Each structure stands twice: as C-alpha cells, then as structure tokens.
C-alpha cells in the first residue's frame, strides 16, 4: 500500500469524490455521506482545521478502490 499523506486538505478529497460522480448527502453537523452506485461512505468533515487526517485519506482511498477507481 502506498504511503498516506497526512497533509491533504479535506476539500481536495471531497472534490475528487464529487468529480467522480458521487452524490453528497449532508448529515447533521459535520457529517457527510458520499454515494455512488448504491455504495456509501460516511465521514465527519474536519473542523476547525482543514486537513484530512490520515485515517480519512485511507478511508477515501479504500472507498475509491471499492467502487472501481484505481490510481
């Protein structure tokens, strides 16, 4: 598995998911779900900072692999 960048802004991850056609489902507070072809992934947006912690990057990477997006 490739190293995980812990200095990535959350907005970049969200932008990739949206660009790939994921539907954004806003939850309460900072929660957000992304859905594509019936597959879903749930996140809490980072706050007050903008950086996505490593576990969020790993979770996004796993979801992308799951829906068939390869690097």
Residue with tokens 């959350």: 10
Residue 13 lies in a domain: yes
Between 68 and 7, the more confident residue is: 68
Q: How many domains does the chain have?
A: 1
Q: Quote the CA–CA distance of 41 and 39 in Å, as a whole number.
A: 7
For residue 66, is pLDDT > 90? Answer: yes
Residue 23 lies in a domain: yes
User: Is 44 in contact with 13 (CB distance < 8 Å)?
Assistant: no
Which domain, by its residues, includes 21? 8-66
CATH number of 32's domain: 3.30.920
Model pLDDT for residues 1-56, shown as the tens digit of each residue: 677 777 789 999 999 999 999 999 999 999 999 999 999 999 999 888 898 889 99
Q: What is the dihedral of CA 63, 33, 19, 38, to 10 degrees?
A: 70
Residue 3 lies in a domain: no
């Amino acid at each position: 598995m490739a190293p995980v960048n812990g200095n990535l802004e959350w907005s970049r991850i969200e932008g990739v998911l949206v660009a790939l056609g994921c539907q954004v489902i806003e939850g309460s507070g900072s929660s957000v779900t992304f859905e594509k072809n019936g597959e879903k992934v749930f996140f809490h947006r980072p706050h007050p900072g903008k950086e996505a912690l490593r576990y969020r990057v790993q979770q996004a990477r796993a979801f992308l692999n799951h829906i068939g997006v390869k690097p």
